[in-house]
Structure 1
Amino acid sequence: MRPASGILLSQGRLADRTPGAIPGAKAVAEALAAQTGLSVQSVGTPAPAAEDGWQDALREAGPWLGQLADAVRHRIEAGERPLVVANTCSASIATLPAAARMIDGLNVLWVDAHGDFNTPATTETGYLGGMALAGACGLWRTGHGGEVSPARVALLAARDIDPPEEALLAQAGVRRFAAGAEPETVLAALGEGPIWLHVDWDAMEPGTVPAAYSVPGGLVPDRLRAFLAAIPPERIAGVELAEFEMPGTAQAAQGAIATILDIVGPLLPPER
């Protein structure tokens, strides 16, 4: 699968509860485009943050989630590796099943401080983002498919897990690895086959990359960059980067985006 010919910018509001998520996604996409020469294809219409419950958020976002799934499908049909920049992990409700329908034996490496493995029956917050991976794995019906096999999912750096979520992860057979896990160990657990890589920036140690739901004990930039560099490029079927919270000052934003670009450098095509 060849590198992406463009960036899919997912910026529709989908239970966004923080004001910096949509401008953060746009800024990261534009910085990636400037560095690589890739074009940006926007999906969804930006809107102010709101405290939507998961039902309202999912209903409102249905059309653009369908558009996002179609965009991923078209990129894969063209033999490309999609590169998605999303304001919210909830976008994975659409991207992961779309990719799993197209790619046999797809593995998912979910790099996140959270498991995002709650369901409508277990969620305590009603936040759709905390249910995204479970939906993609078919534990609840999102309306966008659930073709991802939980046995092919590995969580890296997840450390803030609700007790009911713990039980669901164990029952489903999802593998979990601490932030300090060696790439070889994680890749061996995933076995052979293509990997869809999802990075939520709250996987990082607080203070390294701004994210709304940061939790101590995360990855540091050099560690994650080395981890990504250790994944054989031919195994990467798609990449999505989510939940960067735009800082309040231009200087802070510039520094944070430079850190992101350095971390994901091993995943990017050469500069054009």
Structure 2
Amino acid sequence: MNDALSVKNLFVSYHGNEAVKNISFSIERGNLVGIIGPNGAGKSTLLKALLNLIPKDTGEVQVYGKKFHEQRKSIAYVPQRSNIDWDFPITVLDTVVLGSYPTLGWFKRPKKAHRDWALQCLQRVGMEDFSKRQIGELSGGQQQRVFLARALAQKAEIFFLDEPFVGIDAASEETIIHILKELKESGKTILVVHHDLSKVSDYFDQLILLNKELIGFGAVNQVFCADILSKAYSGQFSFLDRLGVEV
């Protein structure tokens, strides 16, 4: 089984309104995949439905050929920064240690080995010097690095990130994409909800293009072209021209 993620006939609705409809795709292991589309296209909804964070109307999601609940320990999630309580009284190091809990178990205390591993993850994202800070004291880019470190601490096989580059500095974005590419090279699979179309060719192997339904899925050079993009971004040809996409 080469498919890290398989999605079949996924429908999600809010209060009777379809947010995502009839989505099907399969992603092979070791790919870095961008989820793109206009505002309101259902990008974050799709991600949350894949993670069982919101209910699905219908549809099947498999991770490495098994049901989602059977593969929880192999899945890491970095939510949007706006969804996190930054006033919560927890340090940077303890935030990353939380990444060990899926394997540690909720009723066991982390040991020195878990804290040492958390420090290694912080070192990887360049945040070891901030380990004793409260998370709300950090900049947006620093906060995002910490939550990536938490995901790394899980030793996951598949990573889901929701708008990780929004509101962060260029250095943090460079650090994060570098780590995501390293994870991909090591055989991990990464899905990223992303809005900056000017960088998709540099960042991703494949694209999922949404506008409530699946408009395109495949290699970047197959999806990131005018005839496919225009189906999702109807009438917005000026921005395609600015991106250098031939229309």
TM-score (norm 1): 0.36
TM-score by length of 2: 0.39
> More relative contact order in 1 or in 2 (CA 8 Å, sep 6+)?
2
Larger Rg: 2
